[in-house]
Amino acid sequence: MGYYAGLFKGRRTIKNQLVPDGIGAQELQGFDQGLGRRLWYNARGEVKEVARLIQTFTSTRHPDLWRGIGIACGYVGGNQQENLELLLTASGHTINK
């Protein structure tokens, strides 16, 4: 649902951050993971842009949005290690080497 809403109702879902009727607190996690996938595609894989988009949402939604971005990034592939490290840092996690 989140990916679909971000794709076909992007202004409402991303810019205005409205959640469709019928999405309750339990469903919001999955919704936001799908929306995070869509944000990755909207940002065209640009870490700084996707981080900027996420910052516009309330912080309680960030973990699931980041999770969706990670899923999208994993499915798309072709990312360089440097880009993946930037993504991890932007999400607020540290790199353990």
User: In sequence order, which residues have a C-beta less than 8 Å from that of residue 10 and are 6 or more positions away?
Assistant: 38, 42
User: In sequence order, which residues have a C-beta less than 8 Å from that of residue 44 and are 6 or more positions away?
Assistant: none
Kindly give the residue spans of alpha helices, DSSP state H, lying in the chain: 2-8, 10, 25-42, 47-55, 62-76, 81-90
Domains of the chain by residue range = 2-90
Residues 37-84 have pLDDT tens digits of 999 999 988 889 999 999 999 999 999 999 999 899 888 766 778 888
Res 94: pLDDT: 66
Res 79: pLDDT: 78
Rounded to an integer, what distance in angstroms lies between the CA atom of residue 30 and that of residue 19? 12
